């Protein structure tokens, strides 16, 4: 990442003021800390694994910079830390009486826990990243399970980020693969935002778009190198993830980096899929599979000519608000139900509004289709890249039956109010038809096999 690119990204950041990324830069943690926080005391927050990887280097760097430190707070290294609100409460309550700035030595979950705990206390913190495993380092908000529902809680991004590429490249390949899965969803997520932009629902912010989409293709270009732990490839992945986080920070929303593919993962996380494993089934693995699922759905959609859409038939099939709520309640259970009802009804439009939107879709379809095609990559290519890096590309790899996977297309649409391709297809009364094609003989999922 060039200094100019960092400087440009930081200009629009609301919280992050310093980013250091490079090989062997963990020893700059002390310098970054003093530049940001002056003579404040520090407390290292880590788990057993991250402290073993970098705790000594970071502590020595802080000491050399003259930073006074208090006893570190360590979560256990096993079982793997879960991004649940109870862990935020544990850390927050420990930090509350202490006059010290957190230096989190962390990858995804621990960074989110530290971010949210400090956010609730109204405090800044910094993070030293240990793996290129997610885009949350620089992101505003934290993805946390609270009251049984996976949600993005509002909390400021870190004031400083130190990303040591030597350490990241040496991280377990599982962590790199999960970061790749998180990043690759930005491809179809961009197509989702294009649709929303064209329909006048949520306009694209060109500056924010460039932060994510600008480095994206290059960051995804060498999955084999990432699996082999090559430094240059890790550099590109880390760059893409950090820029994605900065985009979310600037936009104060995950829209620039999260589309329908993420909704697959969020639904499964609410249902605690893979949470009984150690390590738990990662967010990025589920997102990677969601990416392939949505990219293949886009391919079916793009075979349709929506300039001939039967608006009258779609409006006639549209449920009332009460009927829509009943649909949600019929297919969800447990803690997911009430939040799913809330999210679905938040984006519900009445028949008159639907008719107007469908007319726009018909009129603008050639432009929408052209822009979406230019944004997407073939689902088969995305799957091949994910297979190469060692991520998940088939539901059987995570214990999801094909029937449950098929239902996820409609159920995932109900858990977020964000407008995506799933919403377009539901409103056009085409989702079932398109999903049927994916699973019919010759369709993408009928032909797809898990990697050998």
At 102-113, the pLDDT tens digits run: 999 998 889 999
Domain boundaries, the chain: 3-170, 177-201+255-447
Q: In the numeric block, which tokens belong to residue 19?
A: 């980013």
Q: Which of 374, 262, 436, 343 is nearest to 425 (CA)?
A: 436
pLDDT digits (tens, 9 = 90+) for 196-251: 999 999 999 999 999 999 999 999 999 999 999 988 899 899 989 999 999 999 99
CATH number of 3-170: 3.40.50.1970
Q: Taking a C-beta distance cutoff of 8 angstroms, is the pair 387, 311 a contact? A: no
Rounded to two decimals, the pTM is 0.92
| pLDDT single digits (tens) 239-249 | 899 999 999 99
- Residues shown for the chain: 452
Architecture of the 177-201+255-447 domain:
Up-down Bundle (1.20)
- Residue 107's pLDDT is what? 84
Q: 94 with 66: CB under 8 angstroms?
A: no
C-alpha distances out from residue 347 to 201, 325, 344, 426, Å? 10, 12, 6, 12
> In the block, which residue shows the tokens 């040591």?
164
The conformational region for residue 280 under phi > 0 = left, psi -120 to 50 = alpha, else beta, is: beta
Residue in the block written with tokens 């924010």: 208
**Each residue's pLDDT tens digit, 367-402:** 999 999 999 999 999 999 999 999 999 999 999 999
Q: How far apart are CA 128 and CA 55, in angstroms?
A: 10
In terms of Cβ atoms closer than 10 Å to its own Cβ (0-12, 13-18, 19+), residue 8 is: middle
**Beta-carbon contacts of residue 70 (< 8 Å; ≥ 6 apart):** 41, 42, 43, 98, 100
Q: Which of 193, 211, 217, 213 is nearest to 203 (CA)?
A: 193
Taking CA atoms, 268 is separated from 145, 233, 354, in Å, by 12, 30, 29
At 445, the pLDDT band (50, 70, 90 cuts) reads very high
C-alpha distance from residue 340 to each of 240, 258, 401 (Å): 31, 18, 22
In the block, which residue shows the tokens 């649709």?
A: 195
Neighbours of 323 (CB within 10 A): 9
The pLDDT value given to residue 2:
53
Q: What is the pLDDT of residue 45?
A: 97
101-106 vs 42-47, strand pairing mode: parallel
Instruction: Label residue 77 by pLDDT band (50, 70, 90).
Output: low
Q: Contact, 244 vs 287, CB < 8 A?
A: no
């Amino acid at each position: 990442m060039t200094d100019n690119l960092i400087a440009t990204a930081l200009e629009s950041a609301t919280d992050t003021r310093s980013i250091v990324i490079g090989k062997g830069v963990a020893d700059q943690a002390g310098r970054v800390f003093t530049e940001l926080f002056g003579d404040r005391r520090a407390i290292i927050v880590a788990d057993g694994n991250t402290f073993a990887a970098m705790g000594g280097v970071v502590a020595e760097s802080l000491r050399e910079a003259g930073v006074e430190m208090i006893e570190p707070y360590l979560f256990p290294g096993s079982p793997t830390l879960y991004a649940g609100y109870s862990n935020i409460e544990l850390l927050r309550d420990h930090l509350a009486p202490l006059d010290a700035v957190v230096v989190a030595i962390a990858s995804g979950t621990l960074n989110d826990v530290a971010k949210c705990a400090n956010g609730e206390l109204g405090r800044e913190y910094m993070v030293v990243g240990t793996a290129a495993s997610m885009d949350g380092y620089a992101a505003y908000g934290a993805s946390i399970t609270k009251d049984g529902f996976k949600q993005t809680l509002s909390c400021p991004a870190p004031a400083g980020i130190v990303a040591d590429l030597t350490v990241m490249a040496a991280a377990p390949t599982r962590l790199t693969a999960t970061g790749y899965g998180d990043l690759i969803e930005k491809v179809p997520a961009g197509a989702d935002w294009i649709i929303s932009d064209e329909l006048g629902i949520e306009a694209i912010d060109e500056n924010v778009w460039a932060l994510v989409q600008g480095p994206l293709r290059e960051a995804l270009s060498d999955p084999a190198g990432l699996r082999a732990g090559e430094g240059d490839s890790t550099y590109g992945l880390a760059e893409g993830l950090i820029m994605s986080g900065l985009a979310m920070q600037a936009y104060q929303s995950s829209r620039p980096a999260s589309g329908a593919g993420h909704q697959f993962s969020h639904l499964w996380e609410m249902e605690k899929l893979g949470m009984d494993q150690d390590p738990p089934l990662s967010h990025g693995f589920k997102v990677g599979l969601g990416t392939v699922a949505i990219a293949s759905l886009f391919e079916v959609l793009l075979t349709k000519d929506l300039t001939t859409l039967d608006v009258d038939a779609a409006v006639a099939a549209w449920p009332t608000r009460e009927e829509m709520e009943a649909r949600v309640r019929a297919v969800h259970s447990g803690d997911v139900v009430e939040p799913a009802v809330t999210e679905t009804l938040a984006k519900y439009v009445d028949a008159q509004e639907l008719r107007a939107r469908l007319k726009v879709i018909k009129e603008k379809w050639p432009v929408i289709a052209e822009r979406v095609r230019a944004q997407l990559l073939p689902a088969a290519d995305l799957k091949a890249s994910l297979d190469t890096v060692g991520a998940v590309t088939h539901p059987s790899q995570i214990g999801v039956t094909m029937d449950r996977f098929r239902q996820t297309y409609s159920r995932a649409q109900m858990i977020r109010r964000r407008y995506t391709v799933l919403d377009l297809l539901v409103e056009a009364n085409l989702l079932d038809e398109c999903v049927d094609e994916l699973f019919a003989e010759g369709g993408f999922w009928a032909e797809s096999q898990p990697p050998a």
